[in-house]
Structure formats: C-alpha cells, structure tokens
A and B are shown apart, each in its own frame.
Chain A
Amino acid sequence: MEKAERACKLAGTGIIQSTLLFILVWFIKGLEYLGSRWILLGHFYGQLFYSKMIETEAKLAGLKPGMKVLHIGSGHLPLTAFCLGSWGYEVEALDNDLQAVSSGKNMIESSGLGSRIKIKQGDGTEVNCSDFDAVWISLHVFPKEEVLRRVISTLKEGGKVIYRNPRGLLKYLYPRMDSSEDMGRGSCQKMKQSMGKETVVLQKCPLGEEENPLTLCCLRKDQEGIIHYVPDNPLLAPLGLRPGKKVRVCARECFGGPVIAEVERRRVALDRLLAGEIIVKKGEPGAL
C-alpha cells in the first residue's frame, strides 16, 4: 500500500476530502495490519470483503489456475494474492511500504502458500509486467493512472489488467478512471462489486497503436465491423464468428441481455461478456 500522505496530496481536491481519505486509508491499513497479526481475523476479513470479489474478477478476465499474476499494492494483508495463490495461480505481490511487505510475507508463510506467492518491495510506476498473464491493481494504489499506464505499456499482448474503481459514496474519496478504454488498447469490461467498488478488466489487444479497436459489445445497434480476434470458444467459428468476417449488431437486449450479431445473414445471440472479448475493427473485410 502506498503512503497515505501521498494519497491525499494526489487524490484530494479539498481539505475535507483529503482528511476523510486519510482517515479511511489509515483505518483500513490498521485493520489489515491486525488481520496480518491474527490470522483468523485476517481470513474472516478476506471471506467478508475479498474472496467472492476476486473470484468474479478472475472469471470476468477469463483467467485459469496456473497463470502468472502480479498484484500491485498488496498491503499488510495481501488477500488478493492469498486467494489467487490458494486457487492455484502463481502470484507475485508488490508494495512500496517495507513494513507492509514484511507483515504480508509473515501472513503468506504462516498460511503455507510461500511456494506460490512471492511478496516483494517495489514501486508500481517502475514495474515490468512482461512476464505476467494478468495484473491486479488495488483500489488504494496512488498514483493509479501512472501505474496503470506503466502496466499497460510493459504488459504482453493479450494480457489482462484488473483494477477497481470507486462507485457510490466511495467515488467522492477516490478518483475514478474512466478513460481507461483508450489506455487498454483493447477490450474493456466492467462489473459492479459490493462495498462501493467496481471492477474494470482491460485486455491489451494484439494490434498496433495506430488502429482503433473496438469490441463487439461496444458496437451500437446497426453498426458494422470486421472481426479481428475471437476468444477460444468452440461454437463461435461454426456460428460464423471468425476473424475477417463482417459483423453487424442487430439488437442489444434489455436487462443486460445478449447482443444479437449478424454474420453473413445469420443471427447469433451472444452474452455481453463474450461479445466483450470479440475484437472488431471498422473497415472492409479485404483490409485485413
């Protein structure tokens, strides 16, 4: 976790906001410190606030056990790293606070996950993510936008970035990052979480910077595009959704329902999450 004083300086727009944020971060930090000392309290805290959220995030990002994951801003109680490690991921966690790194290490070693989770001291703005399949950035990380830019620029193509935005009351304390779609150069999926958080999953798409990729989910009704990349799903190709094909969105259903796509006069209903993984480009099929 980054220093709270630095947090206030960068995020705050007023004295009250800075003070509130300072108190909140100090409180959470304290709670997590206690959690790292009394392991049972730590597990209870994790079950209550983190386990379900991280599970849905990993699912949304399409990650599988065995993948290499980096967590930036792991804090005194590295619960994100702990959950992912216990599900079989290979995790490296990073924090610039030496004290947090040492209590984090204690917690991981006493849980017997030391072989899968490595905790290191380091700064998010100087990190090299080229070895990782996915990178988690904590809500409390500052300066978040700078860290995110660094992560995306060093991440391999197809890699995922998962970060949390504040919503509800929390958005008056933490800065939101909504311009992330440009930064992601690829697909962007969002999901509401409990306790005033929202998860954002970015995928760095395998395209040059001059191009402007979209996902099928981002296309408006009646907008057309050329499919550039489809995820690994055995049904997509036989239903006509293959790279190089022209696709049109015929309808977007209500209540978060599917996107209806038309390829070669054939209509297919696709879940929005799945449509969010299909990368499309504007232009004619011959251009690819």
Chain B
Amino acid sequence: MHCKETQPSIMPDQSKILLIGPPNVGKSAFFNRFTGMNVSVANYSGTTVDYTAGKLDMGDKSFLLIDVPGTYTLDATNEAERVAVEMLRGKPTGVICVVDANNLESSLYLLLQVLEQGLPVVIALNRFDLAREKGYDIDHARLAKELNVPVIPTVAVTGQGMDRLKENLKETIEKGDIPSLDWGIESDARWEKAETLADRVQKIGTSSLLTRQKLGQWLIQPWPGLLMAFLVLFLVLASVVGIGMGLRRFILLPLFRGAIIPQIIWLVEYMLPAGLWQNILIGEYGFLVKGLEWPFTLVLPYVISFYGALSVLEDSGYLPRLGALLDGLLNRIGLQGSSIIPLLLGFGCGIPGVLATRNLSSPKERIIVSSIICLTVPCISQTGAFISLLAERSIAVFLAVFVVAGIALVISGLILDRRIKGPKLQTLMEIPDLLVPSKEVVFKKVWLRVKHFIMDGALPMMVAVALAALLYETGLMAAWGRLLSPLVTGWLGLPEEAAVPLVLGILRRELTVIPLMEMNLSLLQLFVGAVVALFYVPCVAMIAILAKEFRLHMAFAVLAVTTIISFLAGGIFFRLGSFFLTL
C-alpha cells in the first residue's frame, strides 16, 4: 500500500494488462518484477486489498499492468471478486493468469472462468519449485496444448521464467489470440473440466515431508502450538525492544547527538543571533534539535526492529497459524482468527491495519477491529516512545501500560461485539505452507517501511515540533497550559506543561508521549501520562482513513470516545495510584 498507486480508471486510453490469480499465489511478486515498483507481499491470503497499477514496458509499447486482488473464482461473491469481474469486463488488452502449481485443480477452475471472457491470455504456472518439492510433476507443455494458450512455469520470487512470460505475452497480444472453449459454463461442468485437466497433466509422486513442512504441521497443533505461539510472541516483543534499544544506544544516538546535532547547533549559532528565531531552531523545542532527535533516535530504531520481526512473521506463513490457534479465544470477543493480521499490522501503524480489515468477512468485524486498533493498539512510533520513556526508568511500569492495553482490548471487544449488530461469519481460511523468509525480501520490506516512515512520519513530526517551538517561544504554550490546567493538573495530576503533548498528539501519536520525557515526572505521573497517551485520539492520518473507509460519523465517534476514555482512565489511574501510594 505504500507505493504510488495509480487509479486505472484515470487512464482509460492506455492499454491495460491484468494480473489475475488466486490469493497468495505471488501476483504482487510478478507485479514488482515487471514494473520495478514495490507493493507489499506476504505469505498469507489477501495482502493486496485494492488494485494497484504500474507501467509495464514491452518493446516499444508501454502498458498499464494492474495487480488485481486475489480471487478464488469469478462468481462475484465478495468485494475482491467483484473488482476482478469488473476489470475483466473493462476490455483489457491481455491477461496474465497466475496458476498455482501447488493447487492446480482449483486454480484451473479460475483459469477456465478467465478464458471464458474471450481475451488474450498467457498462463504463469507459479510456485513451480514448491510443487516439485512436494512431488507434483506437471506437464506444462501438455496443459498449453490442451487449452491452446501459452503456459510458462515460473518462480516469481526468484524471477525464474519472467523473460519467457513477457515474450509470450507480447506475442499473444500482437496476434490477438483468443482461446476457444470446449466446456460448459456451469459451475459443475467447469469443475469437471478442471478435474480432468489436472488429472491429465499432473502426476503426484511420493515425497517425504521436509523439516519445515513437519514444523508447519507441528506449529498448528494446540500442543505444542499454543506454547510456541506464546514463545514466538514473546521473542518478537523481546527482539523489537532489544534490537531497537541497541540500535538507539549504540548507533543512532551517538550519530545524532555526537555528530549531526552539534554541527547544526554550531551552524545556527554562527548564522543567527541569539533570540526568538535561534530558539525556535535550536532552543528547548528547537525543531532542528528535537525535530531530528525524536524521530530518528527515539522512533526509527523501533520502526526498524518491529518491521524486521513482522516481515519475518509475514513471509514465513506463521500468522495464519497463529490466527487458527487463537480463533477460539478471539471468537469470544467477536473476532475471528483472521483478525490477528490487521491487529498485528496495527501495532506497526494503524493505517495498514485498518486497510487490512477489508479482508475480514463481515462489516461488523471490520468495525470492531478498526475501533480496537484506534483505541487500544499503540502504533510502533508510540511504542518506541513508551519504551524510551518508561522502559528505561521502570520495566514494570512499561509492562503495566501494555497490560492495561490488553485488558482494554478485551473489554472493548466484548462491548463492541454486543453493541454492533450484524451477522457473525464462520472462520474459513487457508493455512499456507511454512516457508523460510528470503533475506532479500525482508531487507527490502524493512527498507521500504523506513523510507515510508521518513516521508510520512518523520517529516510531519518535524513540522509538529516546529509548531511546538513556535508556541513555546511565543508564550502561547504556557497560556494553553493554564487554560487546560483544571483537567491536566487537577484531574490527571500532571504538570501544566503536559497540556502541550495533548495538542501535538493529534498530529502524531508518539508526540503525546515524547515531550513527557523532558518533564522530570514521578513514576505514577509517567504511568498516568502513558495511559492517557495510549487511549488518546489517533493521529489525523488515521482519522482521515477512518472517514474514507467507513463514514464520517465513525471518525467523529472514534475521536469522541478516545478522548473521553483517555481522560477518564488517566484520572482514575491517578487516583488509584495516589491511594495505594499513601497506604
């Protein structure tokens, strides 16, 4: 989602080529290879939640390649299938149908439906390597002959077969070959044809299970799967915190505090006389000091460590297993196992989390998961700030904040499940093979996220810090603090200046936390501040995405509920904490 997306409808004149296939077959990997762009890929169904378009050059002509969301059939039973059917009706120049060599029969059913559209088609028989490993021997030449359409065995992640596919596509489009049909177009006749074809072209040999296949089966058993799930989640948390702290302490902090910032201070002092403008640039909230230090030494290390861990989880195919293991528990708070993916993405950033809810089976579940992400799931920028603010002072307080978040998640799930009307759908999801994540892909993903954080995270944060500097130096901030003092000081027990992060927090979630670090707060005040920050309004970008994905009133409801809950919870914890401390 974090690349340039072009809406195909904006360019009606350009010839379009569609990339169609079942979910989790590697269509996005083809797309990235052909266009040089980078759309997100992972080892589970439904990574592409919207269509994405990019330029594909073939010889002297250029085409618009469209990555259509994965669909098992063209029966238009869900949103992704409706998108695919609509695109096929839009008269594209050609279609690349990606067929899964591991699940030939059901891929062939979709292929037959695509061929029925009367368009030039080439077939990419993808994941050929995995099929061979499982003992499937597919006679692709025979398949091509049976259907009279070019069939190219490919391995999209390594790029094998890509050039041949492109050549064949070019040839097919130039000739304008349209496949002929010799099967009935009813569902049963199509399944019969798919079955006969699969029987004719595929030989299933015996193969012994590989270690990772055995591991994959082992991890899905309740025992030891649940224990392993607990260990995996613990390891993920430990590596996010550990690696993040290491990156901060040993690399980024020395780099910024030791090398970059002193140079800037020296330069500003040399160029500007002491006064308002110098203070805005390098003073208390100086945006060339805090505006660099906060995003790059406080948040960036955790962005790197979190996305490193998440990419490994995503590409290994472990997440659907985790979803299946926890499905029974999640059902009790109105969610399904598949909700685990948007929730985990939400721990990175709420926006991809909310977008990933599009894959969930019912509107009710979408609303529940999105609300939970907004209310109780801190994004990695905020978590990074929590770690820096709390973990370095007291690990217990840091863990307590996460326990509060966990309890809030369960309670909000229980309440929303009862309040929101709508049918509850039954869990039905594919568990992909366990794969060893490719180092290249993981590094590429982390790099993309870092780039995205710098553009969409660090820059707005610098702007927010500049705003804070301006308010601070002009005395407006102190006035704002006095205005909110009954709430901030009286109710929450925080110093007056803590009113500032409440304004900045609307721009970026982590800014509700970071300024607290500079205020010499007691442990109780830190905890109260962190709880307020945890429940406080999501950032502006999240509000915008909620309004876009749902309705405007949902965005307003989230704003109101988060504000009320954050102050209510903060005040209650302050009173409880003060009471216990006096005992």
Question: Which residues from chain A sit less than 8 Å from chain B, CB to CB?
Answer: 233-240, 242, 250-258, 260, 264-271, 273-274
Contact = CB atoms under 8 A, between A and B. Distances in A.
Nearest to A243: B191
A258 B102 CA distance: 23
Contacts of B109: 237-238
Contact of B428 (A250, A251, A268): A268
B306 to A, nearest CB: 26
Interface in B321-339: 323-329, 331-332, 337
B428 A237 contact: no
Interface stretch (B219-227, B476-484, B531-539): B219-227
A260 B324 contact: yes
A245 to B, nearest CB: 9
A234 B75 contact: yes
Contacts of B72: 235, 238-239
Interface residues of B, number: 38
A239 to B, nearest CB: 6
Contacts of A240: 103, 105-106
B441 interface: no
B105 A264 contact: yes
A242 B195 CA distance: 11
B430 A255 contact: no
Contacts of B217: 250
B73 interface: yes
Contacts of A252: 222
A237 B325 contact: no
B428 A260 contact: no
A264 B106 CA distance: 11
B22 interface: yes
A192 to B, nearest CB: 13
Nearest to B187: A237
B327 A257 contact: yes
Given A251-B221, A264-B105, 5 more contacts: A237-B191, A240-B103, A250-B217, A257-B222, A260-B324
B193 interface: no
For the complex of A and B, list the 5 residue pairs with the smallest distance between their C-beta atoms, beginning with the closest: A255-B328, A257-B328, A238-B72, A271-B426, A234-B77
Contacts of B329: 255, 257
Contacts of B431: 260, 267-269
Contacts of B22: 238
A266 B73 contact: no
A238 B21 CA distance: 12
Contacts of A264: 103, 105
Contacts of B429: 268-269
What's the dominant secondary structure at chain B's contact region? helix
22 contacts: A233-B428, A235-B77, A236-B428, A238-B22, A239-B106, A239-B428, A240-B106, A253-B222, A255-B332, A256-B328, A256-B331, A257-B329, A257-B331, A258-B327, A258-B328, A260-B324, A268-B429, A268-B431, A269-B327, A269-B429, A269-B430, A271-B427
Contacts of B324: 253, 257-258, 260, 269
A107 to B, nearest CB: 28
B202 to A, nearest CB: 10
Interface in B293-320: 320
B85 to A, nearest CB: 13
Contacts of A234: 73, 75, 77-78
Contacts of A273: 426
Interface in B9-23: 22
Contacts of B331: 255-257
A258 B134 CA distance: 26
Contacts of A253: 222, 324-325, 327-328
A166 B22 CA distance: 47
A264 to B, nearest CB: 7
Nearest to A239: B430
Contact of A258 (B77, B105, B427): B427
Contacts of B102: 265-266
Contacts of B106: 237-240
Interface in B150-190: 187
Given A255-B328, A274-B428, A238 B220 contact: no
Given A240-B105, A256-B331, A257-B337, A250 B220 contact: yes
A256 B324 CA distance: 11
Contacts of B327: 253, 257-258, 269, 271
Nearest to A241: B428
Contacts of B427: 258, 269-271, 274
B375 interface: no
B385 to A, nearest CB: 34
Contacts of B430: 239, 266-269
Query: Which residue of B222, B225, B226 has the most chain A CB atoms within 10 A of its CB atom?
Result: B222
Given A251-B222, A265-B134, A269-B429, A242 B191 contact: yes
Contacts of A267: 220, 430-431
B426 A238 contact: no
A25 B163 CA distance: 79
